[in-house]
Structure 1
Amino acid sequence: MKPVINIDQVNCQTIMALKPNAPAKYQGARLGPISPLIGAQKLGYNLTELPPGKAAFPAHNHYGNEEMFYIIAGQGELRVGEQRIPLRAGDVIACPPGGPETAHQIYNTSSSADLRYLAVSTAISPDYVQYPDSGKSGAAVVLGRDEKGIPKAVRLMNRETDNLDYWDGE
């Protein structure tokens, strides 16, 4: 396995997690895993392509993993907590782990061009993630990757207001 790949060789496919019942603002986002193609062990890399007016994921924050994004082409907006920051090609974004004040989302603000970016993340598993807009939280343990390089994981997702009491059922 070569430890080098040109970004033009990365095959992006519609994100599998976005099934037909996903909200329209996420439909059509594409992801191209890079890590398994170059033998990465402790970092996850992917190429993300967003059609105009779309985001790949809801705003979220990680307690275990840190993410970095590099804007390759297009324009968009980064949401971090309550801030909105314009994005353009060449921008580098740091998303350290933390609480809801670190929740982040990248959105394509163009009406005609895709937004393309390189995403790099630590590959700490398990990780705990919050989705402040919907009040959800979840934990995931990554168990490897499928034949397309997509992580296989055991996920637990819930609404924070619906958590069981520690002593429930004891």
Structure 2
Amino acid sequence: MTEKASMIVNMHATPEVAADVPAAWAHFRRDLTPMMRNAGPGRFGMGRLGMGAVRVPPGHSACPAHTHLQADEIFVVLEGQGLFRYGDRVYDIGPGDCISCPADTGVAHQIANPVTQDGMGDLVYLAIGAEPPAEVCTYPDSGSLVIDGLNRRGFLREAPYYEGQPEPTPLLSCHAGKI
């Protein structure tokens, strides 16, 4: 058998990695597009689209409800039964369901695997999405946000436009022609 090219990844042979997250968000991922991955701040892989296989145990969700300003996302359910939250609505999801979450709608989305009386197992889905370098995500349940381009996570507080700006502006104290 010939060796596979580096851009070919077998979903079943790729190592599954436990996410380093608080227990309520426990899940496992398989990176299926390593050549497309962001290589770090200011450096990008060969693409800006990614896909991973996500496995979520009963009673968990891989992430909080969130919105994306720039990144469209698509989810394809492979195994198990789950819940999909889109804004204020909740839908049952199962194998074969393809879920579209367009960017810049302001509508939050989330997938979860509830604990059920019939003992359903893990929920497994593909997560496919754009990975823009300056993405902004909001989290309506907590009021937090993520600004990828600035590598910042936290809470935004309202402030007047000029709050904290030095007076007079440092530009006026510079020597003519030197900035």
Common fold, TM-score beyond 0.5?
Answer: yes
In structure 1, distance between residues paired with 2:35 and 2:58: 28
1:77 and 1:85 in contact (8 A); partners too:
yes
Q: Which amino acid aligns with 1:56?
A: A
Q: Say if 2:11 is the partner of 1:3.
A: no
Identity of aligned residues (%): 29
Q: Is the 8 A contact 2:7 2:33 kept in 1?
A: no
TM-score (norm 1): 0.80
Letter of the 1:25 partner, please give it. A
| 2-structure distance, mates of 1:6, 1:106 | 24
Structure 2: gaps spanning 5 or more residues: 37-44, 166-179
Deviation for aligned residue 1:66:
0.5
Larger % of strand: which?
Answer: 1
Q: How far apart are 1:36 and its partner, in Å?
A: 0.8
Aligned to 2:24: 25
Superposed, 1:111-150 pairs within 5 Å as 111=116, 112=119, 113-141=121-149
The letter for the 2-side match of 1:127 is E
Cα displacement (A) at 1:65: 0.4
CA distance in 1, matches of 2:52, 2:163: 41
Judge conservation of contact 1:75–1:110 (CA < 8 Å) in 2: no
1:166 is displaced (CA, Å) by: 2.5
* Match of residue 43, structure 1, among 46, 49, 57: 49
User: RMSD in angstroms over aligned alpha carbons?
Assistant: 1.9
Deviation at 1:40, TM superposition (A): 5.9
For residues 78 and 115 of structure 2, what CA distance do their matches in structure 1 show?
Answer: 14
| Structure 1 unpaired stretches of 5+ | 142-153
Distance in 2 between residues matched to 1:95 and 1:123, nearest whole Å = 14
Give 2:104's aligned residue.
98
Q: Relative to structure 1, is the Cα distance of residues 158 and 37 closer, same or farther in structure 2, using a 3 angstrom cutoff?
A: closer
Evaluate the alpha carbon distance shift between residue 104 and residue 55 of structure 1 in structure 2; reply closer, same or farther with a 3 A threshold.
same
Distance 1:122 1:159 in 2: 24
- By how many angstroms is 1:15 displaced? 1.2
Q: Give the C-alpha shift of residue 3 in structure 1.
A: 3.2
- Map Cα deviations across residues 89-148 of structure 1 (whole Å, 9 max, x no partner): 110000111243x2100001244411111111012111000000001112003xxxxxxx
Are the equivalent residues in 2 in contact too, given 1:35–1:46 (CA < 8 A)? yes
Q: CA deviation at 1:44?
A: 0.8
1:168 pairs with 2:166 = no
CA distance in 1, matches of 2:11, 2:46: 15
